[in-house]
Amino acid sequence: MLVTSDGSSQRRSNGRRLKLLTTQPARAPTCLAAHSSGVVAAGAMDHTVRLVKANGPDPRHGVHFPQAVTTVAFSEPSPQRPHHDGWLAIGGFAGMVGLYSAKTLKEIWRRSVSAQNSAMTCSAFSNSDPEEAAELWLALGTQDGSIHT
């Protein structure tokens, strides 16, 4: 489904049903994030994040994470930083978060966010600053009610 800038939606398929991109071979998705390039990241309890493009599977396939995946978020690339293609953040069931290149899926870092290993429940990047005066923020929510930045 496309959502236009005025908030209206447009169906992409036959007008009655949304287009099925893929099915997860092992487990149902626990979280989704869409990137402006048309890639969707789908996290699952089988420790994987699978990537799917609007026209089919992404040839990069995805990422294996050391924990069940409970949240994913994309940052967008920056026109002021041509070498930066955006980030993919992955949060896990036992409080771990990993940061990956959105283009290459190379891991940048991985760390535990919660001292109690509380499950990550949500994540979001701040919007890119058009003048790049500020760095991106990654906000992370955990099952114990905490919000980390």
Statement: residue 118 has pLDDT above 50: yes
Average pLDDT over residues 135-143: 88
In the DSSP assignment, the letter for residue 117 is -
Strands, E assignment, 4-137: 9-10, 29-34, 39-44, 48-53, 56-64, 69-74, 87-92, 96-101, 107-112, 120-125
The percent of residues above 70 in pLDDT, for the chain, comes to 69
Per-chain mean pLDDT for the chain:
80
Average pLDDT over residues 96-122: 91
DSSP string, 73-89: EEPPPBTTBTT---EEE
Statement: residue 11 has pLDDT above 60: no
Q: What pLDDT band is residue 4 in, cutting at 50, 70 and 90?
A: very low
* Confidence (pLDDT) at 115: 77
